[in-house]
Amino acid sequence: MHGEYKVPGGKLVVADLEVVDEHVRRAQISGDFFLEPDDALERINGALAGLPVATPAAQVAARVRAVLGDGVEMLGFSPEAVAVAVRRALTGATGWRDHQWEFVHDVPREPALQMALDEVLAEQVGSGERAPTLRIWEWASNAVIIGSFQSLRNEVDLAGAEKHDVTVVRRISGGGAMFVEPGNTITYSLYVPESLVSGLSYVESYAFLDDWVIGALNELGIAATYQPINDITSPAGKIAGAAQKRFAGGAVLHHVTMAYDMDAAKMLEVLRIGREKLSDKGTTSANKRVDPLRSQTGLDRADVIDRLVASFASRYGLTPGAIDAATVSVAEDRVASKFGTEEWLTRVP
């Protein structure tokens, strides 16, 4: 059994295991990490021999740590990273390059339809009807998107939303509220098979699925990093927030909204957030704009998108995809029955 895990901001850890009678008979850990002294690798491999295949990741990491002792230097990886690679091997996890990725840069759509499309496209990947897909959204109107479990009245000033012609919708994933205006944010979704994140905890899967875009931002000259649980940030402030939903059909939806150049004063009138939370997004004044991608890259929004997509394609490959009329029709039905209804919007009043 073979498993790989690229540590976010670190090195690749590979686990090759020989399994007999539900136990690991032989293990070989390898990768581009640094480890001193040399014989520590033999100790790690030895600690994994005899391991029951159902052993949780925390216990795998504890076994590795127990045999290392003092004086061992692990650079670019950790016992936890070894455990993840082992669990990914034992669960038959796939890697990014094991899949043929499709790319869709969608046309502008209304907020409720965007919510429905996310659910429908993820279901299509889970059923095998659609290949794993990267979709760049375009917004047809201003919107506030609240998390699945957020209180509508606690998060949104409905009078402010009406004043600024902002549509309020609720998504299927958790997390916090997002304020978007056409042309001022970059929103994308990844629709992936569950096998891609097999062996990863929820927190680990956020870092894993965000790693490519952090690398792409670094290539643009932004010192972007992952901030647990679901933020992408830089020394100049927060850049993006991610959210995730796992489906019973075997798919994972991971979507991210990145601030390109947003009106902070308008956002404050629509979202019930304090000044301290606004400062986390890169500004301390409601009269300023939240513009980490524009100010830190100096690029037009379209150029930033092109560079991000090119970075993904260079890593994992991309082929052109599309959202056909039948898929849109299914999504429109979901708007009518779910995402566009008052019942869904106010499920947490």
Q: What CATH number corresponds to the domain at position 17?
A: 3.30.390.50
* DSSP string across 284-324: S-TTSEE-HHHHHH---HHHHHHHHHHHHHHHH--EE----
188 and 239 part of one domain: yes
| Residues 117 and 325: beta-carbon distance below 8 Å | no
Residues forming a β-bridge with 30: 14
Answer with the one of 47, 64, 90 that is the final residue of a domain. Answer: 90
Reference 196, options 6, 335, 69; nearest CA is 6
58 and 174 part of one domain: no
| The predicted structure's pLDDT at residue 142 | 97
How many distinct structural domains can be found in the chain?
A: 2
Reference 90, options 42, 57, 58; nearest CA is 57
CATH code at position 306: 3.30.930.10
Q: At a CB cut-off of 8 Å and minimum separation 6, what does 241 contact?
A: 175, 176, 178, 230, 231, 232, 256, 257
306 and 172 part of one domain: yes
101 and 127 part of one domain: yes
| The predicted structure's pLDDT at residue 8 | 87
Answer with the one of 90, 123, 138 that is the final residue of a domain. Answer: 90
| The predicted structure's pLDDT at residue 279 | 53
Instruction: Provide the residue range defining the domain that includes 195.
Output: 96-345
236 and 329 part of one domain: yes
| The predicted structure's pLDDT at residue 237 | 84
Angle value at C-alpha 262, between 314 and 225, nearest 5 degrees: 45
50 and 167 part of one domain: no
322 and 192 part of one domain: yes
| The predicted structure's pLDDT at residue 69 | 84
84 and 107 part of one domain: no
57 and 136 part of one domain: no
How distant, in Å, are the alpha carbons of 78, 115, 171, 295, 345 from that of 6?
A: 12, 31, 30, 30, 38
What average pLDDT values come out for the chain (349 residues) when binned by 10 residues?
Answer: 92 97 97 96 97 95 94 96 96 94 98 98 97 98 97 94 97 95 96 95 92 95 92 89 94 96 90 60 50 91 98 97 97 98 97
Dihedral over Cα of 62, 68, 70, 71: its sign: negative
Token code pair at residue 301: 């929004």
Token code pair at residue 276: 């301290």
How distant, in Å, are the alpha carbons of 5, 89, 192 from that of 48?
A: 17, 13, 30
- pLDDT tens for residues 275-329? 445 555 444 444 456 778 999 999 999 999 999 999 999 999 999 999 999 999 9
149 and 192 part of one domain: yes
| The predicted structure's pLDDT at residue 105 | 97
| The predicted structure's pLDDT at residue 291 | 76
313 and 168 part of one domain: yes
Which three-class secondary structure state does DSSP give residue 230?
A: coil
Residues forming a β-bridge with 289: 263
119 and 160 part of one domain: yes
Answer with the one of 90, 110, 131 that is the final residue of a domain. Answer: 90
